[in-house]
Amino acid sequence: MKLRSIVPSVLMATSVSAMAGDFTLTSTDIAQGKTLSSDHVYQGFGCTGGNLSPQLSWNNAPEGTKAFAVLAYDPDAPTGSGWWHWQIVNIPSDVNTLPKGIGTSENQHVLGATQYSNDYGEIGFGGACPPKGHGPHRYQFTVHALSKVLDLPENPTSAIVGYMVNGHTIDTASIEAIYEAK
Protein backbone atom coordinates (compact mmCIF):
# COMPACT_ATOMS: atom_id res chain seq x y z
CA MET A 1 0.00 0.00 0.00
CA LYS A 2 2.73 2.45 0.91
CA LEU A 3 4.66 1.62 -2.27
CA ARG A 4 1.63 2.52 -4.41
CA SER A 5 1.40 5.96 -2.81
CA ILE A 6 5.13 6.60 -3.23
CA VAL A 7 5.41 5.57 -6.90
CA PRO A 8 3.27 8.42 -8.34
CA SER A 9 5.26 10.94 -6.30
CA VAL A 10 8.56 9.55 -7.53
CA LEU A 11 7.35 9.52 -11.13
CA MET A 12 6.09 13.10 -10.82
CA ALA A 13 9.41 14.29 -9.36
CA THR A 14 11.33 12.46 -12.08
CA SER A 15 9.28 13.96 -14.90
CA VAL A 16 9.59 17.49 -13.48
CA SER A 17 13.35 17.23 -13.04
CA ALA A 18 13.71 15.65 -16.48
CA MET A 19 11.97 18.70 -17.98
CA ALA A 20 14.16 21.06 -15.98
CA GLY A 21 17.54 21.92 -17.40
CA ASP A 22 16.43 23.97 -20.41
CA PHE A 23 16.73 27.14 -18.33
CA THR A 24 20.20 28.51 -19.07
CA LEU A 25 22.41 31.39 -17.98
CA THR A 26 25.10 32.81 -20.26
CA SER A 27 27.46 35.77 -20.13
CA THR A 28 29.80 37.65 -22.41
CA ASP A 29 31.93 38.51 -19.35
CA ILE A 30 32.21 35.38 -17.20
CA ALA A 31 32.43 31.66 -17.94
CA GLN A 32 32.00 28.42 -16.06
CA GLY A 33 35.21 27.54 -14.19
CA LYS A 34 37.14 30.49 -15.62
CA THR A 35 38.88 33.29 -13.71
CA LEU A 36 37.03 36.57 -13.27
CA SER A 37 38.69 39.54 -14.96
CA SER A 38 39.75 42.58 -12.92
CA ASP A 39 36.56 44.28 -14.20
CA HIS A 40 34.64 42.14 -11.70
CA VAL A 41 36.98 42.59 -8.72
CA TYR A 42 35.94 44.87 -5.88
CA GLN A 43 37.46 48.34 -5.53
CA GLY A 44 38.32 48.63 -1.84
CA PHE A 45 38.59 46.24 1.10
CA GLY A 46 42.23 45.69 0.05
CA CYS A 47 41.34 44.90 -3.59
CA THR A 48 41.75 46.90 -6.78
CA GLY A 49 39.33 46.31 -9.61
CA GLY A 50 36.58 47.74 -11.74
CA ASN A 51 33.76 46.51 -9.46
CA LEU A 52 31.46 46.02 -12.47
CA SER A 53 28.66 43.50 -12.44
CA PRO A 54 28.98 41.07 -15.37
CA GLN A 55 26.63 40.94 -18.34
CA LEU A 56 24.16 38.09 -17.84
CA SER A 57 21.47 36.62 -20.11
CA TRP A 58 19.06 33.75 -19.53
CA ASN A 59 16.80 31.74 -21.77
CA ASN A 60 13.98 29.22 -21.59
CA ALA A 61 12.44 30.31 -18.32
CA PRO A 62 10.02 27.75 -16.95
CA GLU A 63 6.28 28.16 -17.37
CA GLY A 64 4.74 30.10 -14.51
CA THR A 65 7.70 32.46 -14.05
CA LYS A 66 6.42 35.77 -12.65
CA ALA A 67 9.82 37.42 -11.97
CA PHE A 68 13.55 36.70 -11.70
CA ALA A 69 16.22 37.20 -9.08
CA VAL A 70 19.97 37.18 -9.62
CA LEU A 71 22.18 36.32 -6.68
CA ALA A 72 26.00 36.22 -6.64
CA TYR A 73 27.61 34.33 -3.79
CA ASP A 74 31.08 33.22 -2.63
CA PRO A 75 30.71 30.00 -0.59
CA ASP A 76 34.46 30.00 0.18
CA ALA A 77 34.58 33.26 2.16
CA PRO A 78 36.01 32.62 5.63
CA THR A 79 32.90 33.86 7.43
CA GLY A 80 31.07 30.66 8.30
CA SER A 81 28.20 31.82 6.06
CA GLY A 82 29.83 32.73 2.74
CA TRP A 83 29.66 36.19 1.17
CA TRP A 84 26.81 37.76 -0.79
CA HIS A 85 28.14 39.88 -3.67
CA TRP A 86 24.89 40.77 -5.41
CA GLN A 87 21.14 40.48 -4.85
CA ILE A 88 18.81 41.87 -7.48
CA VAL A 89 15.19 40.80 -7.02
CA ASN A 90 11.87 41.11 -8.86
CA ILE A 91 13.34 41.47 -12.32
CA PRO A 92 10.23 41.51 -14.56
CA SER A 93 9.45 38.25 -16.34
CA ASP A 94 9.89 39.89 -19.76
CA VAL A 95 13.53 40.87 -19.01
CA ASN A 96 16.20 38.28 -19.78
CA THR A 97 19.42 40.33 -19.87
CA LEU A 98 21.37 42.46 -17.42
CA PRO A 99 24.03 44.61 -19.10
CA LYS A 100 27.57 44.83 -17.75
CA GLY A 101 27.92 47.42 -15.00
CA ILE A 102 24.21 47.73 -14.14
CA GLY A 103 24.79 46.67 -10.50
CA THR A 104 25.60 50.12 -9.08
CA SER A 105 24.13 51.81 -6.03
CA GLU A 106 22.79 54.56 -8.33
CA ASN A 107 20.70 51.84 -9.98
CA GLN A 108 19.06 50.47 -6.82
CA HIS A 109 15.75 50.36 -8.69
CA VAL A 110 16.63 49.26 -12.21
CA LEU A 111 14.59 47.57 -14.95
CA GLY A 112 11.68 47.37 -12.51
CA ALA A 113 13.78 45.37 -10.03
CA THR A 114 15.39 46.20 -6.69
CA GLN A 115 19.03 45.69 -5.71
CA TYR A 116 19.72 45.02 -2.03
CA SER A 117 22.82 45.38 0.11
CA ASN A 118 25.72 43.04 -0.47
CA ASP A 119 27.96 41.85 2.35
CA TYR A 120 30.20 44.89 1.89
CA GLY A 121 27.18 46.84 3.19
CA GLU A 122 26.54 48.55 -0.15
CA ILE A 123 23.56 48.49 -2.49
CA GLY A 124 24.28 46.68 -5.76
CA PHE A 125 27.16 44.55 -6.97
CA GLY A 126 30.33 44.12 -4.95
CA GLY A 127 33.10 42.34 -6.84
CA ALA A 128 35.39 39.49 -5.87
CA CYS A 129 37.83 40.21 -3.06
CA PRO A 130 39.03 37.08 -1.30
CA PRO A 131 41.77 37.37 1.34
CA LYS A 132 45.26 37.23 -0.15
CA GLY A 133 46.77 33.77 0.15
CA HIS A 134 43.38 32.17 0.88
CA GLY A 135 43.39 30.28 -2.42
CA PRO A 136 40.83 30.35 -5.21
CA HIS A 137 37.25 31.26 -4.35
CA ARG A 138 34.15 30.27 -6.30
CA TYR A 139 31.72 32.97 -7.39
CA GLN A 140 28.28 31.56 -8.10
CA PHE A 141 26.05 33.74 -10.29
CA THR A 142 22.55 32.26 -10.22
CA VAL A 143 19.35 33.42 -11.87
CA HIS A 144 16.19 32.24 -10.12
CA ALA A 145 12.87 31.95 -11.95
CA LEU A 146 10.34 33.01 -9.32
CA SER A 147 6.74 31.84 -8.93
CA LYS A 148 5.71 35.32 -7.76
CA VAL A 149 6.93 38.87 -7.35
CA LEU A 150 8.41 38.99 -3.85
CA ASP A 151 7.26 41.35 -1.13
CA LEU A 152 10.45 42.04 0.84
CA PRO A 153 10.98 44.44 3.74
CA GLU A 154 12.73 47.75 3.04
CA ASN A 155 16.25 46.72 4.19
CA PRO A 156 16.28 42.92 4.34
CA THR A 157 19.31 40.94 5.42
CA SER A 158 20.97 38.67 2.90
CA ALA A 159 19.49 35.72 4.78
CA ILE A 160 15.93 37.06 4.36
CA VAL A 161 16.49 37.73 0.64
CA GLY A 162 17.90 34.22 0.18
CA TYR A 163 15.09 32.65 2.17
CA MET A 164 12.36 34.39 0.17
CA VAL A 165 14.05 33.81 -3.19
CA ASN A 166 14.67 30.13 -2.50
CA GLY A 167 11.15 29.69 -1.13
CA HIS A 168 9.64 30.86 -4.42
CA THR A 169 12.12 29.48 -6.96
CA ILE A 170 10.73 27.36 -9.80
CA ASP A 171 14.13 26.72 -11.42
CA THR A 172 17.68 28.08 -11.43
CA ALA A 173 20.56 28.45 -13.85
CA SER A 174 24.12 29.24 -12.75
CA ILE A 175 27.63 30.11 -13.81
CA GLU A 176 30.44 29.52 -11.34
CA ALA A 177 33.59 31.55 -11.98
CA ILE A 178 36.73 31.68 -9.82
CA TYR A 179 39.12 34.30 -8.51
CA GLU A 180 42.21 34.21 -6.30
CA ALA A 181 43.95 37.24 -4.77
CA LYS A 182 47.72 36.87 -4.88
Q: What is the residue-level pLDDT of the chain in tens, covering all 182 positions?
A: 443 443 333 333 333 333 445 999 999 999 999 999 999 999 999 999 999 999 999 999 999 999 999 999 999 999 999 999 999 999 999 999 999 999 998 889 999 999 999 999 999 999 999 999 999 999 999 999 999 999 999 999 999 999 999 999 999 999 999 999 98
Domain tally for the chain? 1
Q: Could you tell me the residue range of the domain that residue 129 belongs to?
A: 21-179
Q: What CATH code is carried by the domain that includes residue 119?
A: 3.90.280.10
Cβ proximity of 36 and 139 under 8 Å: yes
At 107 the pLDDT is 86
At 1 the pLDDT is 40
Cβ proximity of 148 and 66 under 8 Å: yes
At 182 the pLDDT is 85
Enclosing H/E stretch for 10: helix 2-19
Rounded Cα–Cα distance for residues 126 and 157 (Å): 15
Q: Indicate whether 65 belongs to any domain.
A: yes
Q: Indicate whether 119 belongs to any domain.
A: yes
Q: Indicate whether 123 belongs to any domain.
A: yes
Chain mean pLDDT for the chain? 90
